[in-house]
Structures are given as C-alpha cells and as structure tokens.
Structure 1
Amino acid sequence: MTETRGPGWAPVFLSYAAFVLVGLGAGIGGILIPAQMADYGVDEATIGITFPTAMAVVPDLVEPRLVATAIGLMNGVSVLGGAGLPWLAGRLAQHVGIWTLMPFALALSLLQLGVWRLMVARTAPAPVPQE
C-alpha cells in the first residue's frame, strides 16, 4: 500500500471550479447591476489567491538559483497575456463574430487548467512506501 502526500488533484480542481463560478457570477451580476458594482473586488479576490499560490510553487519547480528569474519570467508572461489576450479576443469578435468569445474563453480556461495540472503533477511528492 502506498501513501501520497500533498494536496493532490481534487483541491486544485475545486478551487479552479470556484474561480469559474465566481467569474460566472460576476458576469451575470454585470448584466443585472452596474458594472462598477458587479466587478468590484472579484478580480482582486481571484488574483489574490492565484498569484501567491503560483509564487509559492516556483521553488519546488526550479533550482534555488533560478527562483527569482522564474518568478520574474512568470510575471512578465502574465503581463503580456493580460495585454495581448484581450486584444486577440477583440480582434476575433470584430472580424469573425461575437460568437467566438465563449469558445475563446473556454479554450483559455482549459489551457490554464492544463498548466495548473502539470504544475500539481510536477510538485506532487513521490509515494511513501508503507512497511
């Protein structure tokens, strides 16, 4: 019988599902109430959880001498994604049609889920053999 340590896949999946539900709630709330009231704090709440978690995982993924560089690279890529992906969504909606926004958002969500799954798999400790 082997025992594994670490959070495993379920907590990551549940937290991701919670983020999706918060996003859907904010989107529906944005339709029903003014946008300033609906979006207030939602972005900060989800980023406030995701970003420190990612930074805490980095030392387990790279050599100690590369931790600061890896965090800087993650930060830079996140800024590029935050600037480029909304632009790409707008271009798709303008030139192909507004119907492309939901598949685009779904594809990005699945990509993010896949990246997090790879990070969890890579940081999960090896099973501890029972004697």
Structure 2
Amino acid sequence: MMTGTRRFYHGTRADLRPGDLIAAGYASNYGQQKQASWVYFAGTLDAAIWGAELAQGEGRARIYIVEPTGTFVDDPNLTDKKFPGNPTLSYRSQAPLCVIGELADWQGHSPEQLQHMKDHLVRLKEQGVEAID
C-alpha cells in the first residue's frame, strides 16, 4: 500500500533490517506480552520514541521507518476519548509493516519524563488496565 509522502515510524527494541516485516502474531512489546493481533505504528516521531522507550526487552531502543503493506486504522488505545482526532497519528494494522530503514539520530525523552510515564503505566496496571491488545 503506497502512502505517498507520509512517513511512518515503529518504535521497538528488536534488531531489524530493511526489508524485514513486522507482523502480528508475535509476543507484544508491552504489558503481559500476549500474542499481538495488531502491529502498531505512528506518523509522529514522538509517538514512536515512546514506543521504543517503553518496549520491554534488553535491546537498545530503536526507531524504524516503516511502510504499511495493507489497510490500517486509528489506534483506539491512543485515540477516541483519550486524544480526539488522533493528534499522535497512531495507527494499527493486521497486515505487516515493511522496514524501510532505521532512524539513527533521534532524541529520547528526559529520564524524568520517562519515569513519570512508567509510573503512570504501573498505576494503570494496578487498576487492571491493559491498553494494548
């Protein structure tokens, strides 16, 4: 699926190469690491940075430039009532994402911002909220 001049990003700790596919059906990078039925990506670098920084695992945080291979929809975990209008340009697809390349030069969030977000996610988990499906 050609997306024209739009650029999409996927944040993760996985070590991938151009041409690799990121597909549903593998353990999620988040939460209880259940088998993911969707692949997630974003049209903003900031959203992808959060994805990379919050992904579980020991690998280094990475941002990949990706191309959806099929249809995609707004990510309901970050849209609807939480962020009306999808300002983070966050999406999900059941079709794979093709890795176009890696974005090597990006700035992560401050340690304070990252800790604040991690603390927030712990509070949500304690309340029984598991956002990623």
TM bracket, shorter-chain basis: under 0.3
Structure of greater relative contact order (alpha carbons < 8 Å, 6+ residues apart)? 1
Structure ranking higher in helix proportion: 1
Structure ranking higher in strand proportion: 2
Q: TM-score, normalised by structure 1?
A: 0.27
